[in-house]
Structure 1
């Protein structure tokens, strides 16, 4: 029994098809089939039912699958641990980031990590915060920069930014001089907001619900630039965070007095035991808190 046989077995079990499994492991279908038959002969049991077009696991195959995955994971962890010690870290880290959020310290962290560990392949994926959180929980993304209203269940979190919601309007708008501005004032106007599933929208909706309000935004956009431009053109009051609004000095931004819950920008992860993930987290901490590296 060798690790290639276990890898091919797991690929067929997960793909449920010999052709797709062969494409996944980059060898011929006949090679995959031969290696799995050799594994079955060694174990003395049939693992894959080949009687239909879909490759399904036998009872023995189901019993073997968990152990095969564990053996492959242990081998990967061994290679990573040795790589960390020798400075030759290998593998892949997938990083998620909220759509339309250009966060320079994150890019600095990715660049410094790449220089320190060029053998690790970095992959960056953009999506809304709810989707990214689900992906981190599922293990398809290792580390994500998300907007959130609270600490997400089942994940570790490092808060990078905590700030209030603001209403952003052109200088001539009635809210530009109203003092104070409340959620009821804001909700009486057409609104331009982030879409559901984003951290900023979740915070806004939660604050409104707490006050018995149920606004329906006129327009939704996924990027702060688009939201600000729509507000600039008089299409609605933009709901942004303080740091987002600071990028648009031609607009007036007013803190919403009774929107008490802060909008959080945070790094989230599920498993920092992998050396590459742990090292990337260290680079992120240094990038977002420069004094920590001095």
Structure 2
């Protein structure tokens, strides 16, 4: 029978993160000999050394590397359970740890959080902004309760997903100096929409590696038979938009992030000439490049009351905003009212 204690796991994680026994003991506010004793007891229980202490350098052994993500997930789940029990005991407090993509953080998420905070002022809201792959990893580790991620998910993570939004992508380009926001710069085709092939040989501002929009843009360009040309790469959303404003290149972004940026113009994308012809016959752009956003959580952990309340608040907000016609440009809700 395994007798691993939560305290031992917490001590192990602390040492693994700082790679120093004395510093970990100071952070935990315990005596260093007591910390070392608990780590030795944990190693004895597991039958494997967790740290290599050669020449004063603390590194994780293969067994330590294997244990670390599991230990973090266990500690995160215990903390979630503690808060849930407190909430059920009527303490009127709790926590929601939410992950979201940069476009949503810059777009409609603020209004959703405002509504949730007004309804549940005692609930702490912790928001982590990041790319979809990063958020999926944090969800799986137990560091987040909910996350707004891009479908489809890579691999087969143990998550439940509920599609809630469709987000249309546009080509962001700087407006000509002195021109109104409906005029494109001289080097861009002056049409109501663009084909992916129009981006060939255009200098582009590109997001950092691992960013969902980077993968979507490069994939669409390669499907059209060319490699995109990068003028600048490696930025987050705000940096990419600022670089486009400065005239360094164009970028493919969600249309909602252009709100409040009069120096940028967003031109809808169509993927092919056939799609463009069909769009012209309809008198409107085709479906173009788009992505689906889902609300995700772990399959093996029930949502806390606070997290369920946030999900309800988000879905109600999207239904009401769609009925009122107040969703950001280029955003469609996939949530239907009950």
TM-score band w.r.t. shorter chain = 0.5 to 0.7
Partner of 1:10: 9
Maintained 8 Å contact 2:103/2:254? no
Aligned pairs for 1:72-151 (under 5 A) are 79-88=82-91, 92-99=95-102, 102-103=105-106, 105-114=108-117, 120-146=123-149, 148=150, 150-151=152-153
Q: Aligned pair 1:166/2:167, yes or no?
A: no
How far apart, in 1, do the equivalents of 2:122 and 2:258 lie? 39
Aligned pairs for 1:1-294 (under 5 A) are 6-14=5-13, 15=15, 19=22, 22-23=25-26, 25-29=28-32, 47=45, 79-88=82-91, 92-99=95-102, 102-103=105-106, 105-114=108-117, 120-146=123-149, 148=150, 150-152=152-154, 153-154=156-157, 155-169=159-173, 170=175, 171=183, 172-178=185-191, 181-220=194-233, 222-224=235-237, 226-245=239-258, 247-249=260-262, 251-258=264-271, 260-271=288-299, 273-275=302-304, 276-290=306-320
User: Aligned in 2, Cα 1:159/1:77: closer, same or farther, shift over 3 Å?
Assistant: closer
| Residue 280 of structure 1, CA deviation | 2.9
Maintained 8 Å contact 2:202/2:249? yes
Alignment RMSD (CA, Å): 4.6
Deviating runs (4+, > 6 A) in structure 1?
54-57, 72-75, 291-294
Partner of 1:63: none
Maintained 8 Å contact 1:183/1:256? yes
User: Aligned in 2, Cα 1:176/1:149: closer, same or farther, shift over 3 Å?
Assistant: farther
Partner of 2:275: none
Partner of 2:282: none
Match of 2:144, SS state, is: coil
Maintained 8 Å contact 1:8/1:25? no
Partner of 1:62: none
| Residue 273 of structure 1, CA deviation | 0.8
Aligned length: 278
State the TM-score, normalizing by the size of structure 2: 0.61
User: Aligned in 2, Cα 1:226/1:12: closer, same or farther, shift over 3 Å?
Assistant: closer
| Residue 163 of structure 1, CA deviation | 3.2
Partner of 1:61: none
